[in-house]
Amino acid sequence: MRARYPDHTGRVVRDDISIAYEVYENGGPTIVLLPTWSLFHSRHWKAQIPYLARHFRVVTYDGRGNGQSDRPVDPDAYASQILIADAMAVLDATFTETAFVAGVSMGGSLAAMLAGLYPERVLGAVLIGTSTWLGNETPERNSAAFETRLDRYDGWDKYNMHYWQSNYRDFTEFFVDRIFSEPHSTKQWEDGVGWANETTGEVLVATQLKETLDENREREVLASIRCPILVIHGTGDRIKHYSAAEELAAITGGTLLLIEGGGHCPQGRDPVVVNRAIHNFVELNAPRQEILI
Amino acid sequence: MRARYPDFAGFVDRDGVKVAYDVFGEGATTLLLIPPSPITHSRSWKGQIHHLSQHHRVVTFDGRGNGRSDRPGSAREYTPAEMMEDMVAILDQAEVEKAVLVSHCHAAWWAFLTAATFPERVSGIVAISPGIPFVGDPNQHWTEVAARWKEDPVDPQGWEMCNPAFWRRGGYEDWIRFWFDLLATEPHSTKQVQDMVGWALETDPETMAMANDEETKGATPELADRLCRSVHCPVLVLHGSQDLCQMPGRGRAVAELTGGQFVLIEGAGHLVAGREPVIVNRQISAFVSSIEGRAMKSRTWSRGLSRRRKGLYVSSPIGLGHARRDIAIANELQVLDPDLHIDWLAQPPVTSVLESEGHTIHPASKWLASESAHWASEATGHELNAFQALRRMDEILVANFMIFQEVVDEGNYDLVLSDEAWDIDHFWHENPELKRGSHVWMTDFVGFVPMPDGGEQEAFLTSDYNAEMVEHVARYPRIRDRSVFVGNSADIVPDSLGPGLPSISEWTNEHFNFSGYITGFVPPSADEAAEMRQQFGYEDGQQICLVTVGGSGVGRSLLELVVDAFPYAHKELPDLRMIVVTGPLIEPESLVVPEGVEVVGYLNRLHRHLSACDLAVVQGGLTTTMELTAARRPFLYFPLRNHFEQNRHVRYRLERYQAGRCMQFHESTAEDIALAMVTELSRPIDYLPVETDGASRAARLISELF
């Protein structure tokens, strides 16, 4: 049972890959809650949808590789250009001319790319626990290379394609534990592990072997962003150190909301503060006639 | 004493008519506060100026016909066009390109006229109880007043008194008193009525008669409608639901015609800026923010479980009295919970004590309007009517509450400790949705009691204040999570809160916990006292008499009287040595003393000297007299005349302890005082002992909240 069901759902098909989207109708501006890494699917926004949908029109979709969408295993199918094109295809398919976008982790970097590349479509972006080249590495993430075959896989060494192919579930349990670093996160952990196991190690390996966005190009796009930006990051994030968020806010001229003691997915673990911040951000930056409180 | 004085005060002069204006503060936005003159003037914004000028530039003026402005003698000098030209001239002279106009009552007409004529000068309008004629619901009374305007009524009653002929033959004040009594529909509005009547009486019936006729001269239903529709800037209308001057339906209609926002203040009357300053201030601030285009500010939000326990201690800033006990309580709280961090919102002179002991002072403290300066300004000689002084502190209390509220809105405090911080307790009861954290209310007396000099009027006023407090606590028990009486049940005076109200003792016992008295230090033993005397240079055989009036400037006249007693006392007591401590606000050199009297400005840790002296002569404040009681020293105390706390509450408590000798300054001669000194020195000390565990008892009571 969900707190709120979509008003309609649909699919866009690109190169035979089908992407499932949901629309929660309302007046006012649209906010697109973007997919994150294929480890999770659109249910990771479950604490945001019912609240935001009371104030705005909300669109979500499952990124390729999980949820109701197809799961290609060819790394080329996960190239960043392709993920950006998926987002634009969903906007078009849902007749969304302009929208706010929000993303978590890899979804945060997707949101930032959309904001930089499509200024005429993106009214503002919320970047949560965003994965970029910026900032310091979290000290604990000093693992062996992703492709190296090891005898044992302890701790961050589990971030390894061979381990995923043989012990995918154990990896997801380990990784989701690092995502929800806040005490008493058992439910969020259970949810996360559940979503992660709706896809496979093989799919996840493909997402990692794709071409990655070059550091200089990323910086260039970030610096070109002109729309309002809200950066949200936990100081206790064990996946991506919060120094990245400070840099991100500085480069984009964005507002920074640091969550002291927060982990990598504050939208799941601290939904109230995140919901209110997103609401406030959209309300302040929406074109005036579109405000509907 | 005001909460805020202007940074600049000037006049504009148009065709020989001078209009006074004031400028406060700085900011990207300027607000022009427009009083509905001439029945009132710029002081009617006293609850707004301090707060708004914290964030913006604020300009106020006295409309022609009242205040410091001229009172021209012909009706055509009071037309709306003249008012508009005055305002534009003020904006020009103050170099304000564009302003948000904030108007009350019929001043809305002038504001709208200005916005329609000079749209480039007006960025927004706040219209409080707007008096735009013909729009929305009419007030039948005004229609009738207009119909009777040229008549000369015989023995007019009520609204009939609004008539120039009646005013000219001496009826103006009757009308004003009737009318403001009527408009203050909220209970317990005595101070606001008194203020409004006072300002209205600063003009004269002739001016009022002329100007009243001109207020909205030329208005027709069509023009009023067109004027509202021609205002294109953002508009905020605030209106009390019980407004008996402008019907709330009028405010709603004005908002609709202007495309503005309508905020109804349920239960409020016509005098909202004065009577509901907190909501009015917050609404104006939010409106200005929306015009400025609020940018989100970067910030850190801490997860609930990631937060350190935090308390905000608001120590009553009237002199140094409560500093030591508050520090003692804070220290005991930190013993119970070493993780508790306490910020202090405090004013000089308390801040200097806090700083010297390493406590954290919240940076917003520097914005607080000075309460101790207010108290000093209220004293004349050895007289201070504490109740009236507190009433007249209303403006400072609003100002400081607004600062406090901003601090708690952002500070994530678990606990607010207010030691007689009247602003917090009062305005949280008046605006209960603003309460943050647990609130501990501490006081060493309960109940305003009238002084005989104040007569029936003061008795009426004190019981009205007490009634409001009783109603506050009954309606919102959740505002005071813990009430701590610094003292014992037996210290409560056997008086009534007022007609129809419970006795002070009954009500206090029901609503408070008792911590016992808190001196903040342990009195010295005989050996320790002897050692201290040596250290202070008090020689064997000398009888040391300390004379002190504490840290405020109040008390010079007492010092002058007491030093005159020295020659008489010295005759009887050849070993007497008198040391006068003037405190930081009285220059020691400025005091003329008889030979033999020593004068010092300051003694480090005065309470230690007091606990080692042979005799003290002091004012009637609780802190010093109880320090002497705890240290079992003989002392004479002189309550300030008309100070209800010193004359009633403190004296009652000291008599229970059988401590000290109460003397009346105005009835005592130097010889009387000398005699009392001799007598008191020879009296055996049979004071009741003062507990030394008060601070830890208070801390335990408080700690139950976390």
pLDDT for the residue B17: 98
CB A23 within 8 A of CB A94: yes
Which one of A183, A257, A259 has the shortest CB-CB distance to B305? Answer: A183
Residue B456's φ and ψ, nearest 5 degrees, are -65, -35
**pLDDT band for position B294 (50/70/90)?**
low
Residues 6+ apart with CB under 8 A from A52: A31, A33, A58, A275, A278, A279
Inter-CA distances, B76 with B79, B217, B603, Å: 6, 10, 65
| The pair of three-digit structure tokens given for residue B415, joined into one six-digit string | 């606990």
Question: Which of B301, B307, B410, B412 best probes binding to A when mutated, by most A CB atoms within 10 angstroms?
Answer: B301
Q: How far apart are alpha carbons B449 and B458 in whole angstroms?
A: 9
Residue B651 has pLDDT above 80, yes or no: yes
pLDDT for the residue A291: 39
Average pLDDT over residues B282-297: 89
DSSP code of A238?
Answer: S
Q: Which residue has the tokens 């707007």?
A: B130
**pLDDT band for position B586 (50/70/90)?**
confident
Which one of A230, A249, A261 has the shortest CB-CB distance to B302? Answer: A261
Among A46, A33, A42, A44, smallest CA distance to A101 is for A33
Which residues from A are below 8 Å from B307, CB to CB?
A: 260
Residue A290 has pLDDT above 70, yes or no: no
Residue B112 has pLDDT above 60, yes or no: yes
Burial tier of B31 (Cβ tally within 10 Å: 0-12, 13-18, 19+)? buried
pLDDT for the residue A292: 39
Average pLDDT over residues A2-27: 96
Which residues from A are below 8 Å from B296, CB to CB?
A: 230, 255, 280-281, 284
Which one of B294, B296, B301 has the shortest CB-CB distance to A260? Answer: B301
Q: How far apart are alpha carbons B36 and B51 in whole angstroms?
A: 21
Residues 6+ apart with CB under 8 A from A4: A24, A49, A50, A53
Those residues of chain B whose CB sits closer than 8 Å to some CB in chain A are: 294-303, 305-307
The gap from C-alpha B316 to its chain's centroid, in whole angstroms, comes to 12
pLDDT tens for B298-331 read 999 999 999 999 999 998 766 677 888 999 999 9
Average pLDDT over residues A112-130: 98
Q: Which residue of B has its CA nearest to A266?
A: B303
Inter-CA distances, B392 with B22, B62, B329, B389, B395, Å: 21, 21, 30, 5, 7
Q: Which residue has the tokens 């640091």?
A: A258
Name the minimum distance, in Å, from the CA of B191 to any CA of chain A: 39
Among B640, B591, B630, smallest CA distance to B610 is for B630
pLDDT for the residue A188: 97
Residue A210 has pLDDT above 90, yes or no: no
Question: Which of A128, A273, A274, A276 best probes binding to B when mutated, by most B CB atoms within 10 angstroms?
Answer: A273
By residue count, chain B amounts to 706
Q: Which residue of A has its CA nearest to B290?
A: A284
Among A280, A220, A286, A222, smallest CA distance to A249 is for A222
Which residues from B are below 8 Å from A256, CB to CB?
A: 298-299
Give the type of residue at B167: W
**pLDDT band for position B4 (50/70/90)?**
very high
Q: How far apart are alpha carbons B404 and B313 in whole angstroms?
A: 11
pLDDT tens for B617-638 read 999 999 999 999 999 999 999 9
The gap from C-alpha B480 to its chain's centroid, in whole angstroms, comes to 20
* Contact assignment for A182 to B303 by CB distance below 8 Å: yes
Sheet harboring B17-24: ordered strands across? B8-14, B17-24, B57-61, B30-34, B99-104, B122-128, B235-240, B261-265
Average pLDDT over residues B94-113: 97
Residue B449 has pLDDT above 80, yes or no: yes
pLDDT for the residue A288: 65
Among A133, A235, A120, smallest CA distance to B302 is for A235
Q: Which residue of A has its CA nearest to B293?
A: A284
**pLDDT band for position B216 (50/70/90)?**
confident
| The pair of three-digit structure tokens given for residue A139, joined into one six-digit string | 């000290």
**pLDDT band for position B258 (50/70/90)?**
very high
**pLDDT band for position B706 (50/70/90)?**
confident
Residue A293 has pLDDT above 80, yes or no: no
Residues 6+ apart with CB under 8 A from B388: B378, B454, B458
- β-pair partners for B677: none
Average pLDDT over residues B677-703: 95
Q: Is the dihedral of CA B43, B188, B499, B422 positive or negative?
A: negative
**pLDDT band for position B576 (50/70/90)?**
very high
pLDDT tens for A225-264 read 999 999 999 999 999 999 999 999 999 999 999 999 999 9
Average pLDDT over residues A100-104: 98
| The pair of three-digit structure tokens given for residue A9, joined into one six-digit string | 């759902």
* Contact assignment for A261 to B305 by CB distance below 8 Å: yes
- Looking at this predicted complex, what is its ipTM? 0.86
**pLDDT band for position A138 (50/70/90)?**
confident
- Portion of chain B with pLDDT greater than 70, in percent: 99
Which residues from B are below 8 Å from A273, CB to CB?
A: 301
**pLDDT band for position B553 (50/70/90)?**
low
SS3 content of chain A, % helix, strand, coil (to 5): 45, 15, 40
Give me the DSSP letters along B292-354.
H-PPPPPEEEE-GGGPPPEEEEEE--STTTTHHHHHHHHHHHHHH-TT-EEEEE--TTHHHHH
Residue B211's φ and ψ, nearest 5 degrees, are -70, -35
pLDDT for the residue B293: 79
Average pLDDT over residues A14-19: 97
Name the minimum distance, in Å, from the CA of B404 to any CA of chain A: 24
Inter-CA distances, A151 with A143, A166, A167, A171, Å: 14, 13, 13, 16
* Contact assignment for B301 to A256 by CB distance below 8 Å: no
- Portion of chain B with pLDDT greater than 90, in percent: 89
Which residues from B are below 8 Å from A258, CB to CB?
A: 298-301
Give the type of residue at B445: F
CB B333 within 8 A of CB B702: yes
